[in-house]
């Protein structure tokens, strides 16, 4: 009887050792018209999860011109090079003149190794990510392109 109990415990622990990562019901990325941060968090809190053996990944993409938010999860990011707690930010900027530089598209990717940790990351950084096109970042990028001693527009 003791060996049967031990066997059941071992099976239970071996089956629950996976990392729980967010996913959609159909396994497809989410593509939604631009929404506010509370809507994004609520949408993610309602998602299912799958068990994985390695890091959970989430990638948020915002097209500011098209007002479109895209969210991809671990199953779509299998080729990602990110490891636990790595963050990657890709910004696509465009402007006809140096004083008209603006962020057109942002991608934010994160990897982590705690159950549903990608949700906690989104809760912490979604407001900054959505508003990144309204920050001083485009001006700072212009200064980087021109050199530290020049103001954008000079």
pLDDT confidence of residue 17: 55
pLDDT confidence of residue 94: 76
Give CA–CA dist 28/131, Å, rounded.
25
State percent of the chain over pLDDT 90: 44
Domain ranges of the chain: 30-146
Give CA–CA dist 106/96, Å, rounded.
19
Q: Is the pTM of this model over 0.85?
A: no
Mean pLDDT of the chain: 80
Residue 96 has pLDDT above 50, yes or no: yes
Residue 12 has pLDDT above 90, yes or no: no
Give CA–CA dist 47/56, Å, rounded.
14
pLDDT confidence of residue 146: 58
Segments in the chain forming alpha helices (H) = 2-15, 37-45, 117-130, 137-146
Question: For the residues 82-94, what does the mean pLDDT come to?
Answer: 89
Residue 72 has pLDDT above 80, yes or no: yes
If you search the block for the tokens 């989430």, which residue do you land on? 58
Strands 56-63 and 19-23: unpaired
pLDDT confidence of residue 124: 93
Question: For the residues 129-136, what does the mean pLDDT come to?
Answer: 75
pLDDT confidence of residue 103: 74
Question: For the residues 103-113, what does the mean pLDDT come to?
Answer: 91
Give CA–CA dist 66/68, Å, rounded.
5
pLDDT confidence of residue 123: 95
pLDDT confidence of residue 11: 46
Give the number of residues written for the chain.
154
């Amino acid at each position: 009887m003791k060996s049967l109990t031990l066997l059941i415990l071992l099976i239970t622990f071996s089956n629950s050792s996976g990392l729980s990562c967010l996913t959609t019901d159909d396994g497809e990325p989410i593509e939604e018209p631009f929404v506010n941060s509370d809507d994004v968090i609520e949408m993610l809190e309602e998602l299912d999860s799958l068990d994985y053996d390695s890091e959970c990944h989430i990638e948020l993409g915002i097209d500011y011109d098209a007002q479109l938010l895209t969210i991809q999860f671990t199953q779509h990011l299998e080729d990602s090079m990110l490891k636990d707690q790595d963050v990657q930010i890709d910004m696509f900027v465009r402007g006809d003149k140096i004083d008209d530089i603006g962020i057109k598209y942002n991608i934010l990717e994160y990897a982590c190794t705690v159950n549903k940790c990608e949700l906690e990351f989104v809760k912490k950084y979604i407001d900054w990510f959505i508003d990144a096109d309204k920050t001083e970042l485009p001006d700072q990028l212009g200064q980087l392109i021109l050199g530290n001693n020049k103001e954008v527009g000079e």
